[in-house]
Amino acid sequence: MKKITILLALAITASFFTACKDGGNPVKIIKKENLDQAASRDLEIKKGTALISLDKKVYDFGTVNEGDIVETVFKVTNTGKTDLVITNATGSCGCTVPVWPKAPIKPGETGDVSVRFNTNGKPNRQQKTVTLTTNTESGREVLTLKGSVIPK
């Protein structure tokens, strides 16, 4: 039993000494393209996050008749130093449909987020939201539509 334990210990010890090829020098196994990617990523990070500026966060559509379609456009401006990317826009219900720019918004440029709200079957006071998923520090922005719908 002692011989088996000693042989097993020697085998494990030998595997530690032969596990690292190139003499255990990590510099020899680093890939140059990984260093280039890391350097470019670090430059982007140093620029800071994208910043979003909106012409309005709330749109009050006033009073409309049930069945009317309410439409508005939210102007989105990138006030940051890196591209603003809106990855998703979600309405609070199926009656609120957003359309957002799929391409990145460059620093200083503006994009439009169009929102349509179908008031059919939505009488009385209404408040609907659209949540933008972005690459800003907070990661999301909430846009609001509100108003009154006169029942049929």
For 31-58, how does the pLDDT look when each residue is reduced to its tens digit (9 = 90+)? 778 778 887 777 766 667 889 999 999 9
CA atoms within 13 A on the CB side of 23: 3
Contacts with 124 (C-beta within 8 Å, 6 or more apart), sequence order: 148, 149, 151
- In this model, does residue 109 exceed pLDDT 60? yes
**What pTM, to 2 d.p., does this model score?**
0.70
